[in-house]
Amino acid sequence: MCDRCAASVARLRAGLEPQAQPATLEVRADTTQVAFPVVGLEPNLQIGDFRIERRLGAGGMGVVYQAVQLSLNRRVALKVLPFGPTAGAPAVERFRREARAAAQLCHPGIVTVFAEGAERNVCYFAMEMIEGRNLDAVIAGLKRRPSLGARRGDWQPQSADRTPERDAPSPCLLVDCKTEGQYFHAVARLIAGAAEALHYAHGHGIIHRDVKPSNLMLSRDGRLILLDFGIARICEEHGMTLTSSFVGTPRYMSPEQIAGGDDKPDHRCDIYSLGATLYELLTLEPLVDGDTQHQVIHQILSDTVRRPRQINRRIPLDLDTICCKAIEKDPARRYQSAAELAEDLRRFISGRVIRARRPGPARRLGKLICRHKTITALVCLLTAVSATAASIGWKHYSTRWAQQYAMAEIDTLLEQKDYFAALRLAERAERYIPNDPLLIDRWPRLSREFNVITTPPGSRIYIREYFRTDGGWKYLGRTPLRGVRIPYGTYRWKAMKSGFVPLETVQTNDPPQSNAGPTALLAGQLSFTLQDAATSPPDMVWIPPSNLDQMDMYHGRRLILLAPAYYIDKYEVTNRQFQEFVDAGGYENAGFWKEEFSRDGKILPWSEAVQQFRDQTGRFGPASWRDGACPKGQEDYPVGGVSWFEAMAYAEFRGKDLPTVFHWALAARADDHSCTIVGMSNFGTGPAPVGTFPGMGKFGLCDAAGNVREWCSNSLEGMPDARCILGGAWDEHAYSFSAGGGARSPWDRDLRNGLRCVQYIGGREAVPPMALAPVEHKCRDLEYFTPVSDEVFASYLDTWYRYDPAELNARIEKSDYDLDYCRTVRVSFDAAYPGERVVAYLYLPEEARPPCQTVVWFPGDEARDSPWTERCCTHEMTAIIRSGRALVVPIYKGTYDRRLSRVYPPEGVQSRNLCIQRSQDLRRTIDYLKTRDDIDVTRLAYVGLSWGGQMGPILIATEPRFKTGILLHGGLCACKRHPASDPANFAPRVTIPILMINNATDSIFPIDAAQKPLFDLLGTPPQQKKHILFPGEHGIAWECRGEYHKAILDWLDGHLGPVATAAQSPCEKDAAGGQRSN
């Protein structure tokens, strides 16, 4: 054997014979295994201070031996640069660089370097000898162990020149885990430690660039130690390369390391590599698993990897999120430091919220598109073609829908006067047929354009249908608005701007008359002024400078021009607010009581007068309270049971005033659209918390109608001991809001007496004196009145009231049992005058035996302003029907659904003609009743309420078929009237029995000025007419209703006879039931 062969045999025995480089990774081996022949050292060979014991392994940058340092007698790991063809100057420099890099670091997670040297052309350095296993060997062992239930792959990482000693089983933190939870927490702890070691190295300017399982050693004490800084780069040094275009192990390299380019990889490439190692520990599968280096590089640069939880659903979601953030392809999306990665892993271990977040839908979609570019392109093409076809089809369908269906539906809504819904539908149709002439023709029929400005500009404007409080607000835009379409009808408007008090108002957009000219279609103008929130008093609305009008209240007509602006409470004063006055000692502080206490002509001292203002238990407070407090749960109800003096003292306590009649009327009844207010207000069965009912006036005032009455500061002319009180109470008729106005003694503490306050801008001194003066209160002077002669009266009847008999052409339009105590029949018939039909509602009691006694009803003043609804059925009507009598309500000319758009002077010809038409409507109604078998027209009664009580003499005197009449809360009006429609001329011609029921302190129809004159003028024999007085203002208090109803029914029983309410036979009941079911 020659020397050359002997040397080769020796090398083979030592395991140092060079190995060939495989052409491909047939067993999916790590592509960074030894790429050059390994030339090693014999055992027992001494190099410097170190004696070789055995070979531990080999890597890309050298061979590692177990050795003994002779001088210190300690076992070390000796890394030797292989001698051979590759051991040139660049390799030697790189080898020494690793030694220097590792020597700079002292961290429990980084291997310690003891010494470095060169001998016999062999370069080496000595480092800490660690007892443990390489992480790649641990992972290989975990794959062969199915106990954790993780998926096992067939890929096994190949470490460099593995020996049986290194693969021998040893205690291992990961292998010894009994549950998946323990395993995942152990993985998180190990990688967190490695991340902290990397952060330490990065802090010293060193980037490892080859972090992978084979360069991580799991020690026996549970530490994961970073090895092999063979290709580490010191940040300040440059020019390091290998023979290839990149350095590191491709399978664990970051995309920027592989891609190269001008931007050199920074410390974030180590974060990616550690993340790839974490991925492999979690899934027991490699991050990329190509069979060739080319495939591996392509997957790293282009492919989207599966999330760990897509491989194993048992991996915790937070750990999955941490791992995915660490292996982001874009360095900017990764953790920006290894410390951040370690912190999130520590948060996961301790159960805290991690900082990393899963990618959003947009990023996931983007990744999906990048992963399937061809399919995405095909899908986009197909989508574009489908969208084009769908667009053409949709345009055809939409145009057809707008021209055929929408136009017809708009016409239907216009007939129903549902302009808001018609506008919404027209706006939808406009998207498809904007220039259609039929649509253009409908715009002025359903809406009008408005220009809207606000002070300040830039306010957001909304509208909502007034009567549909459950509907949403429609946003119109920011002011100034030009040409915005507003549907006809009544709407709530809202203007809002930051820093200003939101403004709510009610505006009516009336449709033009059929004969209106072109100017009726000109754009309307609306202007709103918002108040600065910093200077406006809370919960008060601002009323702009305006003319103050008495609005015919108390039959007066005073007008005050250009009164200054003021504030008024948005809501009535609540029990909670009044409690603050009581708790502050308001009743004990004479400074709040500025008014003179006058009673029966005598002036009382404050100390004596205030004793009158105690609650039900004798403590100071409203009459509705007990023990100095309101009933529990009623803190937000309006305070009731206060006298005028208490209301004035409370206003003084707040630094405010009670409103004058003029200021209250402007704020509550501006534009006098009473029907829009009373229909949505509390005229019910009891008070309600303020703001519960949606009734609202032009300026945004709530609860002005109903709930409780509200004291005003004025007295009445000629009635110094009376104070004005307005708005009506919850148990009064709705007309009490708009009727002449009420007045009570300032000492009156009725439970329905409440208040709201005003704050005059500039103080009380700025208020016009006429507004503070006693209110004009007109009464008719009948001292020298003489009714017209019989001849003149007969001419009235012959000339105007008489009509020729004609066919009724009656038609029953509806019949139902919506009310549980009667059947309701809606009927219409021709009027006595041409071109119109009269509608009447006939209520037939269910238990009465026909033919029925019948009452013809004439309503109160609210009928002139409100549409007909079931709420128009008053408690008097209900009592009459329940007594077993039929009741009929003709819709008289100018009332309910036949109401007029304007009011005519009572003394004029138009008012006279209206009175005649109403008389004819009543008599045509009786003509219709005569055609029914279930009505006994020989027993008819007239009952009129308030306005109906005032008009009663005319309607009874012109209709001889009435057997009796009842006038409720009526009297002679103070207004001057046309002689042919003056009740005073008709009253002497009334000769049938008449019952008058009134109130003792009625200020609309006072006893001496209105009630008694009418009673005395009646031509009824004295023994057949009766006048009953109930306490209180205009209307009957809740407590008196039982007695009030009894008086009405007793009178009807006495003059029409008892009602036949005998039980029906079974056959009759079956027939009625069958009719009802139909």
Contact 269, 253 (CB under 8 A): yes
The CA distances from residue 786 to 655, 675, 697, 789, 988, in Å, are 53, 37, 43, 9, 10
Does 865 qualify as catalytic in the annotation?
A: no
Residues contacting 446, CB < 8 A, separation 6+: 410, 413, 414, 419, 422, 423, 426, 487, 488
Backbone angles phi, psi at 256, to 5 degrees: -70, -25
The two three-digit tokens of residue 130, written as one number: 């660690």
CB count in 10 Å sphere of residue 692: 14
DSSP calls for 359-419: --HHHHHHHHHHHTHHHHHHHHHHHHHHHHHHHHHHHHHHHHIIIIIIHHHHHHHHHTT-H
394 and 402 in contact (C-beta within 8 Å)? no
Give the C-alpha distances (Å, rounded to integers) separating 1007 from 599, 670, 717. 21, 30, 16
- Tell me which residue of 295, 298, 326, 321 sits closest to 308, measured CA to CA: 321
The first and second tokens of residue 394, run together, are 């949709």
Residues 6+ apart with CB under 8 A from 774: 714, 715, 716, 717, 720
Q: How far apart are the first and last CA of the chain?
A: 126
Q: How far is CA 771 from CA 102, 388, 565, 761, in A?
A: 98, 71, 14, 15
Strands (E) across 689-805 are located at 709-716, 719-726, 742-744, 753-754, 758-760
Copy the structure tokens of residue 817.
């049992």
Q: Which of 210, 750, 830, 1002 is catalytic?
A: 210
426 alpha-carbon distance from chain centroid = 26
How far are the Cα atoms of 455, 527, 533, 708 from residue 459, in angstroms, in the given order?
Answer: 8, 11, 14, 35
Q: Which of 699, 754, 767 is nearest to 726 (CA)?
A: 754
DSSP of 420-437 = HHHHHHHHHHHTT-TT-H
- Token pair of 93 as six digits: 């420099």
Question: What is the C-alpha to C-alpha distance for residues 505 and 700, in angstroms, rounded to an integer?
Answer: 5
Token pair 């100095």: residue: 628
Distance CA 925, CA 294 (A): 102
Residue in 277, 279, 354 with CA at minimum distance from that of residue 312: 279
Token couple for 608: 């004596």
Half-sphere exposure of 789 (CA within 13 A, CB side): 2
**Structure token digits, residue 337:** 């430091």
Q: How far is CA 331 from the centre of its chain?
A: 44
Q: Give 771's contacts (C-beta < 8 A, 6+ positions apart).
A: 548, 560, 563, 660, 661, 662, 663
CA distance 296 to 289: 7
Task: Determine the residue type at 454.
Answer: T
Radius of gyration in angstroms for the set of CA atoms belonging to the chain, rounded to a whole number: 50
Q: Give the residue numbers annotated as catalytic, written as ranges.
A: 210
